[in-house]
Structure formats: C-alpha cells, structure tokens
Amino acid sequence: MRSASKVAIITGITKGIGKVIALSFAKEGMNLVGIARNKDDVDRVLDEIRQEFKIDTLGLGVDVSKSQEVDNILPKTLERFNSIDILVNNAAVGKLDYIIDSKLEDWQNIIDVNLKGVYLCSKTVLGQMIKQKGGRIINIASICGLKGVPRYGIYCVSKFGVVGFTEVMAQEAKEHNVIVSAVCPGIVDTGFADNSNYALTSPGNMLKPEAVAKLVLHLTKSSQASQICEIYLKPKNRIERLLKIKQRKTVIKRIKYLC
C-alpha cells in the first residue's frame, strides 16, 4: 500500500546508503526532502527519483554540522509539505587512522558531522513531530558504534555517541509517540570515507546498501518500540566455503529494544 501522505527527510541523499533509502521510500510513495552539502547533486538525485516514482521532492543544500544551515530545514519542509513524518540521519564522514596518527581537525570534523549533525537535525524536527503527536527518527549508526575497531577510532567515538544519543532520545520522545531507532550495519559496499572500506575487505564481504534500506523502511512501518539493530553479512560456513558457494545471508544479529 502506498503511503502518499508521508514526508521523509533524508540526510546524505546524494549517494551510497542515503540514495538507496530514498529510492525505497519513493517506491512506497513517500514525499522526500533530500539533504547534502551540494544542492546541485541533491537536485540531480531527486530529479531522477521524482521522474521514476512521481512523488514530490524538495532538495536542500545543508551542511548538517552547521546549526544556521540546519535551522532552514524545518521551515522549508513545512512551507512545501506542511508536515514531517520521518527523519533519517544518514549523513556522515569517516577516515581511517590509528589514534596516534590522527589529527585534531579530523576529530572535530568527524564528531561535528556524525554526532553534532544528528543532534542538530533531530532537535530541529522533534518539536514539530511532538506537535503532530508522532514521528520516526532513524539514525544510521554503525557496528563501529557498538564495538571499538582499530583504525576507526574517531569514527567509532562518533558512532558510539549516536547510539547513546538514540538511547536517550528514544526514552525522552516516547511519551510524544516519536519513535527513535538506530541501525548499526557492518561494512557496506559504498564509496564511504574515500573507499576506505575496500582497504579493509572485498565487496563480497560487504553488505549491500539495499539491505540497510530494507531495514530502515521496516522501521518506518513497524509498530514496535524504539530499537537498536545490528545487521551484518553472515560468514560462509565450512561446507559453503568448501563448495565455494558465493551466496551469503544478511542477518540481523541483535536487536536491543529501548522502550
């Protein structure tokens, strides 16, 4: 069933997981507000999606780490659509480095975009969702927000922060029927962090962005409580390895229900 009246804001919509989430929402008939730093790139992606799915879209060039820019999101969304149902905090940056080699400017940039950005964007829509008596906020965290991973130090800190922020906000927003969740994928086959993924493992060992989008879409519809879900690609078992079977399964390893 198409949910034509729903309006979803997605940050980091120009490529990777954000773009695939946008496609899966558009397929459901949702209207989209797309955000990334470069407005031309946002508009190009939204034009493609609008032509294919006949939905209504609004593109905004916003750096999620800058509060004056984030302040524009809600008024512009309401001017176009009158309401906001879903926010997906997906935009993030990363850099591979041992802590000992890392630079303070990288700390500031990664924490500003990945953690402050989630805080600013969530805060900007929360008041309106409370007025509307409901909404969903889904934060794309990472397995790096649940486990420390060498060389992903600053990124891990930012994503642990996102998971903690999600846990707090889920409890605070629950009484207003605003459901806040986090998705924590393992490595996903995108060009994230200047393709640093590919330095860690091969595409065959990575999740596809579609698997993340599927879970995010499920969370927009689920009547269940706020949750933190860890998803990853199941390793081949011994028989599969011996037979060289390439089929791998995406599994949800654990779900932590928050409230």
Ligand X SMILES: NC(=O)c1ccc[n+]([C@@H]2O[C@H](COP(=O)([O-])OP(=O)(O)OC[C@H]3O[C@@H](n4cnc5c(N)ncnc54)[C@H](OP(=O)(O)O)[C@@H]3O)[C@@H](O)[C@H]2O)c1
Residues 118, 165 contacting (CB under 8 angstroms): yes
By CB under 6 A, the residues from 100 to 139 that bind ligand X are: 113
Among 179, 187, 213, 258, interactor with ligand X by CB under 6 A: 187
The CA-based angle 129-135-136, given to 5 degrees, is: 130
**Binding flag, residue 216, ligand X (CB under 6 A):** no
CB of 65 to ligand X, least distance (A): 5
CB of 188 to ligand X, least distance (A): 4
**Binding flag, residue 46, ligand X (CB under 6 A):** no
Write out the two tokens for 87: 């926010």
**Binding flag, residue 142, ligand X (CB under 6 A):** yes
Q: Distance between CA atoms of 127 and 123, rounded to whole angstroms?
A: 7
CB of 185 to ligand X, least distance (A): 4
**Binding flag, residue 156, ligand X (CB under 6 A):** no
Among 75, 127, 148, 191, interactor with ligand X by CB under 6 A: 191
CB of 92 to ligand X, least distance (A): 3
* Lateral strand order in the sheet of 57-61: 57-61, 31-36, 7-11, 86-89, 135-140, 178-185, 227-233, 250-257
By CB under 6 A, the residues from 1 to 20 that bind ligand X are: 11-18
CB of 128 to ligand X, least distance (A): 20
Active site includes 155? Answer: yes
Residues 180, 226 contacting (CB under 8 angstroms): yes
Residues 114, 92 contacting (CB under 8 angstroms): yes
Among 92, 110, 115, 138, interactor with ligand X by CB under 6 A: 92
**Binding flag, residue 190, ligand X (CB under 6 A):** yes
Q: Distance between CA atoms of 127 and 110, rounded to whole angstroms?
A: 26
User: 155, 198, 232, 257: which is the annotated catalytic residue?
Assistant: 155
**Binding flag, residue 91, ligand X (CB under 6 A):** yes
Point out the residues that are catalytic. Answer: 155
| Positions that interact with ligand X (CB under 6 A) | 11-18, 35-38, 41, 63-65, 90-93, 113, 140, 142, 185, 187-188, 190-192, 197
